[in-house]
Amino acid sequence: MGESLYLLERINALVSEQGQAVGESIVNVDTLLNHRIDYTFSAYAGTVLARVVHNQSIDVIFTAEASGISVAVFTAMTVNNEQWPHAASVVFAKKSRPITLPDGGFHEIDSFSRTKNKPIKLYLGSHVIPAGARVFIVDDFLAQGDTLAALGELVKRAGAHIAAFGVVVEKTFEQGRTALTRFDAPIYSLVKITSLDGGKLHLAPPSLS
């Protein structure tokens, strides 16, 4: 827990230093995750997220394109080191349907993008997550819970089991956890932003919950 606490403190410090408030509800972390990828930050986040499922056998780390992918990959690296030789794969839901997904060969669900401020669809090939798999859903943000709820529904449609949800940044003032209660899975966030009052990020003390 000592290493995890140190990394958690570093993650919070980096978000506090580089994150910016955009209006009253949007958090910009473009220099860490959403435009420029700080691989050290992603490695810290992935290492700590992997710790919350260290006592489980995880088959899939699941996210949505594109900002969650770097964190999902680093999460898988730590998970796979700890549960070797059983390797967890990284899967991401697509935001447009490629021609490689034929009719009847995919799951599709409606969601909403806060940063793009418009409805989107997420696609998951029906062959990518096997039925019965234990899935750790990972993403960059938890705000109102739209994307994570959509990912959870895709996991259910695949006939798989949700082991947990893990996010890098949670905006607790938007109550997104309520959208995930129906999945009956634990939710972990590394950075908890309690408000954007005064155009500044206000963070809760670092904790894994």
Distance CA 78, CA 50 (A): 6
Is residue 205's pLDDT more than 90? yes
Tell me the longest C-alpha to C-alpha distance in the chain. 50
**For a pLDDT cut of 70, what percent of the chain falls above it?**
100
- Digit-coded pLDDT (tens) for 143-181: 999 999 999 999 999 999 999 999 999 999 999 999 999
Is residue 116's pLDDT more than 80? no
**For a pLDDT cut of 90, what percent of the chain falls above it?**
86
State the pLDDT at residue 147. Answer: 96
- Digit-coded pLDDT (tens) for 187-196: 999 999 999 9
State the pLDDT at residue 16. Answer: 97
Tokens of 44: 């810290």
State the pLDDT at residue 98. Answer: 85
State the pLDDT at residue 24. Answer: 86
Distance CA 47, CA 152 (A): 22
State the pLDDT at residue 209. Answer: 82
Tokens of 3: 């290493």
Paired residues of 60 in beta bridges: 89, 135
- Digit-coded pLDDT (tens) for 54-97: 999 999 999 999 899 999 999 999 999 999 999 999 999 999 98
pTM of the shown model: 0.95
Decide if domain 2-203 falls under CATH 3.40.50.2020: yes
Q: For 100-120, what is the mean pLDDT?
A: 86
Tell me how far apart the terminal alpha carbons of the chain are, to the nearest angstrom: 14
Please, what is the average pLDDT of the chain?
95
State the pLDDT at residue 103. Answer: 86
State the pLDDT at residue 1. Answer: 56
Return the SS3 of 73.
helix
